[in-house]
Amino acid sequence: SRYHSRSCGTWEQGEWLQNPEIDAMIDDSITTVDQKERFEKYYVVQEKIVELSPSIFVLDQPEKSAYRTDYVYWPTADASAKGEQVNQVMGYCYYFRDFKVFPEKAQQPYTPFKP
């Protein structure tokens, strides 16, 4: 977890937040099996973190990405195209485990660029 003390000094947390109360809340949330109850606990953790303000989220940099829609399924781009809210903070829109590639659906074969 980004705000857990265990992540201090890693790429995940540059804030160096070390808060035993937050750590305990995160650990409790992660081990909660019931999804509704877990999400409620996550909400409380988020509220506490916002109250502490270890990070200041100034802006989200808008960007455009090109990809082959004929045979690549990108869940974040698909949701965005449908007008759904997506999480693009810290590159989470590029969670490649969720991508699906179907080369057999390609409308034309890929040709590498040759100068």
- Please give the residue range of the domain that contains residue 98: 59-109
Q: What pLDDT was estimated at residue 95? A: 80
Task: Please tell me whether residues 104 and 63 are part of one structural domain.
Answer: yes
- In a shared domain, residues 63 and 47: no
- Six token digits for residue 80: 């965005």
Q: Does one domain contain both 44 and 68?
A: no
CA dihedral in degrees (92, 89, 21, 35; nearest 10)? -50
The pLDDT, as a whole number, for residue 56 is 81
18 and 42 belong to one structural domain: yes
Q: Are residues 46 and 67 in the same domain?
A: no
pLDDT of residue 104: 86
Same domain flag for 47 and 81? no
Local confidence pLDDT in tens for the 115 residues of the chain: 889 999 998 888 888 999 999 999 999 999 999 999 999 999 999 999 999 999 887 776 777 888 888 889 999 889 888 998 887 666 677 888 889 999 888 877 667 777 6
Assess whether 71 and 35 both reside in one domain. no
Instruction: Let me know whether 31 and 47 are in one domain.
Output: yes
Q: Is residue 105 located within the same domain as residue 63? A: yes
CA nearest 2: which of 33, 29, 34?
29
Residue 11 has a pLDDT of 82
Residue 91 maps to a domain: yes
- Residues with Cβ < 8 Å from 80, sequence gap 6 or more? 86
d(CA 75, CA 93): 8
pTM over 0.85: no
Please tell me the predicted confidence (pLDDT) of residue 94: 80
